[in-house]
Amino acid sequence: MPYAGAGPQVFSQHGSYANREAIVASPQTIERAHSLGEVVTAALEAGLQVEVLREHLAVERDPRGTFLVRDDDGLMRLRVGETAVPVLYTLVAGSAGKRLLKGGDVIGLLTPPGCEFGLNRTGRAPRRA
């Protein structure tokens, strides 16, 4: 999938990100890739105040099962040459003047660039690399 700006991409495959072997009624999906810049700009243009923007270089599993390599520490990374590049990011934004996070709150939102995944079902924030 392109990083961003290529318009809608049509894919047809059985299964889902949760279970690649699942039988689904409609295997066709239409997905759009949005760059991190597009997402942050959209939040700001909507009048939201960004509280946290954090990129994550490692994850515990590969949601698509095809891109990431498991390293000796058990975490999975996407590498360009020897350099790990971000695979997920956390963005927390809310109405201006209303803080969503207090003190040591931890957010477990996982959104890989170019993909649409929801909340981290483990309730834990991703590990930092």
pLDDT digits (tens, 9 = 90+) for 72-120: 999 999 999 989 999 888 888 888 777 666 654 444 444 444 333 333 3
How far lies 93's CA from each of 15, 16, 19, 47, 96, in Å? 32, 28, 30, 10, 9
Q: Pick the more confident residue, 5 or 21.
A: 21
pLDDT digits (tens, 9 = 90+) for 27-44: 888 888 888 888 899 999
Give me the mean pLDDT over the 61-69 stretch: 79
The Cα 115–Cα 109 span in angstroms is: 13
Q: What was the pLDDT predicted at 107?
A: 47
The Cα 76–Cα 85 span in angstroms is: 11
The Cα 85–Cα 88 span in angstroms is: 9
Question: What is the three-class DSSP state of 39?
Answer: helix
